[in-house]
C-alpha cells in the first residue's frame, strides 16, 4: 500500500511517486514516474487504493488486514536538486510515512478490522535508515497495530524494541531462512539470534523453537536415506526421501525442509563435522 505498488502504479500513472531515471549514454538523471511507490500526498492515490481495499474487505470480511509497507524505495535522492519540487523532500519522508499509516489505521478501525504491517522500514538496522530515516516514524504508529518483524537477522533486538514501546502484538518472522547459504552464514559466522539470548532476552518464534531442540554437544549429524515400505530391500532407489537423524540419543528424524524452522546447524549437517 506504499512500496511494491507497481500493481497499481503501472495501471494508474497518476498515483505514482515522482522518481528519477538515468540516461545510459549521458549518465544524467532526469524526472520520471516511480510506479513502485504511491504518491500519498495526492488524493487520487487514496481514491484508487480505497477501491481495492473495499473490494478485498467485502469479499473476505477479515478480522486483520495486512497493509504491507515494506521496502519503500523512494527515489527523491536521485532527482537532481534543480528539478525537485516542494514535496520532493528527503527529511519529511518519516512524517509522511507515519501520517499515511495513521490514515490507513483509521480507515480499517472504522470497519472493525485490525491492521498488520511489516516493520523493516521502522528499524534503522534494516530499511529505516539513511537517507530517509523512516525509523523516526516508529513512535507515531498506533500501538494496537500487529507488527510483523522480518528483520531478525539484520536487527536482532527489533522485537524487543517494539515490545518495549508498548506494541500489543509483535510477530517475528525469519529473514535468515530465505536461502540456505544466508542461513548458514548467519548461524555460524554472525551468531544470529544468539545475540538476543546474550542480552538476557527471551527468544520467541522460530528462534525459540531452535533453542528448545538444539542438538546436544558432541553429537554428530549426517544425511541418511529413508527407504519406503515398497523399496525397503532395494538400497538404490533414486527417489528415496532424505532425512536427518541424530546418531546419539534420540532416533527422531526431521525432514530437510524443516531444518531451517527447527534451528539446526546446517553447516555441520552438510559438511559432516
Contact in structure between 73 and 36 (CB atoms under 8 Å): yes
| Residue 79 CB neighbour total at 10 angstroms | 22
Per-residue pLDDT tens over the stretch 170-184: 998 766 554 455 455
Per-residue pLDDT tens over the stretch 25-52: 988 888 999 999 999 999 999 999 999 9
Rounded to an integer, what distance in angstroms lies between the CA atom of residue 11 and that of residue 14?
Answer: 9
Per-residue pLDDT tens over the stretch 80-100: 999 998 888 899 999 999 999
pLDDT tops 70 at residue 197: no
Q: What is the DSSP-derived secondary structure letter of residue 13?
A: G
Per-residue pLDDT tens over the stretch 105-136: 999 999 999 999 999 999 999 999 999 999 99
pLDDT score for 243? 38
R_g of the chain, CA atoms, integer Å = 24
Rounded to an integer, what distance in angstroms lies between the CA atom of residue 87 and that of residue 31?
Answer: 14
Sorted by where each begins, the domain ranges of the chain are: 6-217, 218-273
Mean pLDDT of the chain: 77
Amino acid at each position: 500500500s506504499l512500496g511494491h505498488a507497481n500493481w497499481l502504479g503501472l495501471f494508474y500513472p497518476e498515483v505514482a511517486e515522482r522518481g528519477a531515471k538515468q540516461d545510459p549514454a549521458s549518465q544524467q538523471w532526469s524526472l520520471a514516474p516511480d510506479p513502485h511507490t504511491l504518491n500519498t500526498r495526492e488524493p487520487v492515490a487514496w481514491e484508487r487504493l480505497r477501491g481495492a481495499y473495499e473490494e478485498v474487505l467485502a469479499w473476505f470480511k477479515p478480522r486483520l488486514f495486512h497493509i504491507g509497507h515494506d521496502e519503500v524505495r523512494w527515489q527523491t535522492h536521485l532527482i537532481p536538486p534543480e528539478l525537485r519540487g516542494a514535496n520532493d523532500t528527503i527529511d519529511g519522508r518519516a512524517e509522511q510515512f507515519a501520517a499515511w499509516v495513521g490514515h490507513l489505521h483509521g480507515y480499517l478501525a472504522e470497519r472493525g478490522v485490525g491492521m498488520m504491517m511489516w516493520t523493516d522500514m521502522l528499524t534503522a538496522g534494516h530499511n529505516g535508515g539513511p537517507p530517509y530515516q523512516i525509523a523516526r516514524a516508529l513512535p507515531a504508529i498506533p500501538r494496537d497495530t500487529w507488527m510483523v518483524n522480518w528483520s531478525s537477522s539484520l536487527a536482532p533486538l527489533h522485537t524487543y524494541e517494539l515490545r518495549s514501546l508498548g506494541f500489543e502484538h509483535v510477530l517475528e518472522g525469519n529473514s535468515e531462512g530465505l536461502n540456505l547459504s544466508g542461513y548458514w552464514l548467519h548461524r555460524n559466522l554472525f551468531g544470529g539470534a544468539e545475540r538476543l539470548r546474550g542480552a538476557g532476552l527471551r527468544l520467541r518464534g522460530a528462534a525459540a523453537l531452535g533453542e528448545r531442540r538444539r542438538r546436544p554437544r558432541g553429537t554428530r549429524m549426517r544425511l541418511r536415506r529413508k527407504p519406503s515400505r515398497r523399496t525397503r530391500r532395494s538400497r538404490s532407489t533414486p527417489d528415496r526421501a532424505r532425512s536427518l537423524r541424530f546418531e546419539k540419543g534420540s532416533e527422531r528424524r526431521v525432514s530437510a525442509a524443516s531444518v531451517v524452522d527447527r534451528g539446526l546447524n546446517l553447516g555441520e549437517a552438510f559438511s559432516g563435522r
